[in-house]
Chains A and B, each alone.
Chain A
Amino acid sequence: MKDNLYQYILGIADNSLILGQRMGELCGHGPSLETDIACTNISLDLFGQVRSYYHYAAKIAGDGRTEDDIAMLRKEREYVNVLLVEQPNTDFANTMARHFLFDVYHFLFLTELKKSKDMTLAAIATKCIKEVSYHQRFSSDWIRRLGDGTEESQMRMQAAINDLWTYTDELFHQTEADKAMVSEGIGVDVTKLKAAYYEKVNTILEESTLSVPESKYFQRGGKMGIHTEHMGFLLAELQYMQRTYPNMEW
């Protein structure tokens, strides 16, 4: 039970950690000052969430591990975020498409997690969902602007959605920890979110004059610690200080 709960929390928190790291890369390099502020703000929210989750995970582990140990000292195969969130910021369409495809899921997920029997997780979810509803509004608005903007922006947004679509199905896969936590009334049964997810995503894509990809081929692996080649570089930056200067306080 303890192992499963610990692993379950990582499954939630790693998504926010890696996505927050991606958004943090954009600081000062976005298309406008307003989007820079928004992306930094979103990154900040995500890292705030991460701290609550890892703090709780550290307490459960109960062996002196800290939030930073959990965030920065695992090996690549031990991170269990979905592949979607580790995808790079190729251009602004990619960044917004990735965010949108995750935000819709994240919001549905937290709505259910609020009902968790685990009071700490329910409380964290209640705090996070406010932030995530803002993220979802921001990314959905950009899907609309870029989808229904100019010819170029539509083309770029469609390409981004097509590329990232292959990573959406993984959101609804269950790990062993997921299943165990669902049976205890602690975890969210993500398989039940799938219909609502695609309905919401498809509606917004259509509103944005974009077509819903027809691909039936999907990638998965992140939840089992089998990541894309992007992940190693991302972790090299994330972990650099903790690895170079072990056991120090900052």
Chain B
Amino acid sequence: MSEEQIRNLEKQFEERIARDEKIEPKDWMPEKYRQTHIRQMSQHAHSEIVGMLPEGNWITRAPSLRRKVALLAKVQDEAGHGLYLYSATETLGISREEMYEQLHTGRAKYSSIFNYPTITWADIGAIGWLVDGAAIINQVPLCSTSFGPYARAMVRVCKEESFHQRQGYEIMIKLSNGTPEQKEMAQDALNRWWWPSLMMLGPTDAESVHTEQSMKWKLKRKSNDELRQQFIDQTVPQADLIGLTIPDPDLKWNEERGSYDFGEIDWDEFWQVVKGHGPMNKERLKARVSAWERGEWVRDAAMAYAEKKAERKEKEAV
């Protein structure tokens, strides 16, 4: 293809996006668009899968059967989200095995939030309320992103995520209205998950390297800082309502802006976790790699069995 032909295709492509047309897997797309989507979508899928671990950690210890059932259903939804997202990413010409390989070798990232430990039951509530809350703010705009398979996956994902968020908040309500011990447990969880949740919305606009391009492709509609503000404005009243205190002495309603002012995020901590040195990075990755390695003989067996079965069918047909 000549350079001029490529420029022409690129122009048509940009026009399609400007017209809000969906880009589908068989359509021509710039290589950078493909690569950016593989990166973002696979990391999104990895986050769902790694995210099963901190919550899965409490399945066997959930305090009541009702909570246990809800947690199991939630983790199952997450595995399902991972599955949709891997499938959607595969339409861009990468296999699930390659994506796993990238995760296992640390070349692909997953959401930094899952590198924090779940140390009490209240953490399960805080994750639903805050982490899923922040995820929804990130993900709702993706329901109308330009790449069709991603947009459609997100429509399904977002429905379930809002349900999880309500469930998480309900756990927090119950704890806050419970005994002093339960309330303390809830406050402690909020203290530990608040800042990491704010970090989920990504680095500040000044530091965000992908923002401009992502806006152009409608992968993003608002900047990280705008989304963070939206999350804070929405979450603070929810904390107030159940009598919990946001662990930020600088948090204050700003009448003029009609928004909350808030304190400085510890970006050193953020980068430390992103670079692989958070409290649980090693354990999380180790759990995934070990599940994959220990499962190899099972996957091999399934493959061998499927081949034998196909052979037998062929023989019968002859």
Q: Which residues does A use to contact B, with CB under 8 Å?
A: 21, 24-25, 27-37, 40-41, 43-44, 47-48, 50-51, 54, 67-68, 71, 91-92, 144-146, 148-150, 152-153, 156, 237-238, 240-242, 245, 248-250
Contacts and interface: CB of A to CB of B under 8 A. Distances in A.
10 contacts: A33-B83, A33-B86, A68-B64, A71-B65, A146-B301, A148-B305, A149-B301, A150-B297, A156-B297, A250-B63
Contacts of A32: 295, 298-299
Given A33-B83, A44-B76, A144-B305, A241 B62 contact: yes
Given A44-B69, A92-B298, A250-B63, A28 B308 contact: no
Given A44-B72, A47-B72, A237-B60, A33 B79 contact: yes
For chain B, which range describes its interface: under 10, 10 to 19, 20 to 34, or 35 or more residues? 35 or more
B82 interface: yes
Contact of A43 (B72, B296, B304): B72
Contacts of A24: 59-60, 68, 72
Contact of B76 (A30, A41, A148, A240): A41
Interface string B175-200: 10011011000000000000000000
Contacts of A21: 60
A245 B69 contact: no
Interface in B47-103: 49, 52-53, 56, 59-69, 72-73, 75-76, 79-80, 82-83, 86
B174 interface: yes
Interface string B236-248: 0000000000000
Given A36-B52, A156-B297, A29 B182 contact: no
A177 to B, nearest CB: 23
B121 A241 contact: yes
B297 A248 contact: no
B68 to A, nearest CB: 6
B209 interface: no
B3 interface: no
A236 to B, nearest CB: 9
Given A25-B59, A33-B83, 9 more contacts: A24-B72, A30-B291, A48-B69, A146-B301, A146-B305, A153-B298, A238-B61, A241-B61, A242-B63
Contacts of B75: 27-28, 40
Contacts of B292: 31
Nearest to A44: B72
Nearest to A156: B297
A34 B297 CA distance: 15
B15 to A, nearest CB: 38
A183 B136 CA distance: 57
A250 B67 contact: yes
A47 B73 CA distance: 11
A249 B60 CA distance: 18
A25 B302 CA distance: 23
Nearest to B297: A152
A102 to B, nearest CB: 19
B300 interface: yes
Nearest to A242: B63
